[in-house]
Amino acid sequence: MCNERQEQDPGKFRDQIRQGKWQKSTSGACPGYVQANLVILPREFALDFTIFCLRNPQPCPIIEILDPGNPIVQEAAPDADIRTDIPKYCIFKDSKLVEERTEITNLWRDDLVTYLIGCSYTFEEALVRGGVPVKNYLQQKDPGVYISSVMCRSAGVFWGPMVVTMRPIPGHLVARTVQITSRFPKAHGAPVHIGNGEPIGITHLEKVDFGEPPVIDRGDVPVFWGCGVTPQLAAMKSKVPFMITHKPCHMFITDIKIEEMAIS
Amino acid sequence: MCNERQEQDPGKFRDQIRQGKWQKSTSGACPGYVQANLVILPREFALDFTIFCLRNPQPCPIIEILDPGNPIVQEAAPDADIRTDIPKYCIFKDSKLVEERTEITNLWRDDLVTYLIGCSYTFEEALVRGGVPVKNYLQQKDPGVYISSVMCRSAGVFWGPMVVTMRPIPGHLVARTVQITSRFPKAHGAPVHIGNGEPIGITHLEKVDFGEPPVIDRGDVPVFWGCGVTPQLAAMKSKVPFMITHKPCHMFITDIKIEEMAIS
């Protein structure tokens, strides 16, 4: 969360992270800048994983893929080092979380391919600026996250359900919410479902799979978006022998301004 | 071009092609449906080529990637066979065009990966429906195509200049043109350059590299878009030992309605 001592420039903020001075959530950090989910996989799995993401662009919008073996970001944050510039990493072996770390320098290999995948922090900020009160954002909480019954389109070994986030939106602002988030396809874009969650297998909104249970006020409509946990879950189900991700909420902060990412 | 005997349903039109009854340009065929460029490459080159396309989304918008070895389209036109359902193919060996064919069944290999890449036929139709008189479309001609001085972002062995198309648009309709084409990022999207072509290395609009010289009327402004020839040119420069593409203007016709592809 934002605090007084926090750097608001992405480069300086990443310096803090690299020096081990910031190991917390990046929610609310560097307002106005795009944050990204991280997935790192061996090259052997990269083509199939890329096709999986392209077939499921709402949960898995690719911001950037780094060249195989290269840990230095090219476009989203030139010269950022993906091995050190994220507050916390999760290390998976044979689909099991085996370790959390604050840097992965000595785990790096020449066959690793890095994916930066869009994150809903970006559109939450755009919604609030656009007059839509996103309760979890304003209360500095995570949204409710649910494993839906909608299956992703598979690709090679990668398959799994679409994971979604839900935010309760007042009925008169649902159209505005669609308009604003449609401008950001690289941050999950437009909602995947609006209204009662039953058709997508979500019957009890208070029972979240991840994140925090939502506060639903009278007149709120549930609005669901694809979630960046989807590709991680697919990689775990696929039994990839080795994967590194960010720890949830501990994102990579890019140099891309949110408005630079809007498509219109 | 459209004629009386031509099937307007994409599935039936592809049947005609499959049976060898249509070997001409698909310009104007199946109005209202998205057409696509074709690139087929060995799997060995597919990850780098995919990253190249993602780094250069305006000239190289990916509509679909088929699973390695699979010649059957999944999403853009379920059950279409990419080996037979395109009117003409170009076969490249070591970056040289060695043959043109009307089907590639006996060239198919288990390591081939198929890319369907967006095509400007889609947005030309949307522009005309939106009240913008696209002269080449109305005269059933190809637009002027130019190799610009703008270099694409490279990926692995793939590099090269951005190839662009140019359409002259009356000044009062340039804003509308940007609005309409922005809705179709998978068909090259918004223009990459508007006005005098000199800053992107195009000094003589009558000297096209491909396509047909444009008709420019008083008050027209040159409007440039990324062109699907870009990834083919990059694949040729990269010395890929084997590549199959469609013959220019002989596109793959999908089952996707143009309006289904719009993002807003």
Which positions in chain A touch B46 (Cβ < 8 Å)?
47
- Asked if A74 and B153 come within 8 Å (Cβ–Cβ), the reply is yes
Please provide the size of chain B in residues: 264
**Which residue out of A43, A45, A49, A51 would a mutagenesis test of the B interface target, given it has the greatest number of B Cβ atoms within 10 Å?**
A51
Question: pLDDT band at A8, cuts 50/70/90?
Answer: confident
Share of chain A above pLDDT 90, in %: 88
A123 DSSP assignment: H
Alpha carbons B95 and A61: distance in angstroms, whole number? 32
The residue among B124, B122, B128, B129 whose CA lies nearest residue B10 is B122
| Minimum distance, in Å, between the CA of residue B156 and any CA atom of chain A | 7
Question: DSSP characters for A75-88?
Answer: SSSTT-BTTTSSS-
Question: Which parts of chain B register pLDDT below 70?
Answer: 1-7
Query: Does the structure show a pLDDT above 50 at A79?
Result: yes
Which positions in chain A touch B263 (Cβ < 8 Å)?
182, 185, 189, 263
Alpha carbons A61 and A192: distance in angstroms, whole number? 13
pLDDT score, position A21: 94
Confirm or reject contact between A46 and chain B (CB < 8 A): yes
Which positions in chain A touch B64 (Cβ < 8 Å)?
54-55
Which domains are assigned to chain A?
A: 10-120+231-261 (3.40.1640.10), 122-230 (3.30.2040.10)
Query: Does the structure show a pLDDT above 60 at A5?
Result: no
Alpha carbons B98 and B115: distance in angstroms, whole number? 20
Backbone angles phi, psi at A216, to 5 degrees: -110, 120
Alpha carbons B263 and B195: distance in angstroms, whole number? 26
Query: Does the structure show a pLDDT above 60 at A128?
Result: yes
Which positions in chain A touch B155 (Cβ < 8 Å)?
67
pLDDT score, position B27: 84
Residues 118-147, chain B, touching A (beta carbon < 8 A): none
Alpha carbons A239 and A157: distance in angstroms, whole number? 8
Buried b (16+ CB within 10 A) or exposed e, B142-180: bbbbbbbebebebbeebebbbbbbbbbbeeebbeebbeb
Confirm or reject contact between B67 and chain A (CB < 8 A): yes
Query: Does the structure show a pLDDT above 70 at A3?
Result: no
- Asked if B51 and A67 come within 8 Å (Cβ–Cβ), the reply is yes
Confirm or reject contact between B46 and chain A (CB < 8 A): yes
SS3 B100: strand
Confirm or reject contact between A51 and chain B (CB < 8 A): yes
Query: Does the structure show a pLDDT above 70 at A195?
Result: yes
Neighbours of A12 (CB within 10 A): 11
pLDDT score, position A248: 86
Model ipTM over 0.85: no
- Asked if B65 and A51 come within 8 Å (Cβ–Cβ), the reply is yes
**Which residue out of B47, B62, B63, B73 would a mutagenesis test of the A interface target, given it has the greatest number of A Cβ atoms within 10 Å?**
B47
pLDDT score, position B7: 66
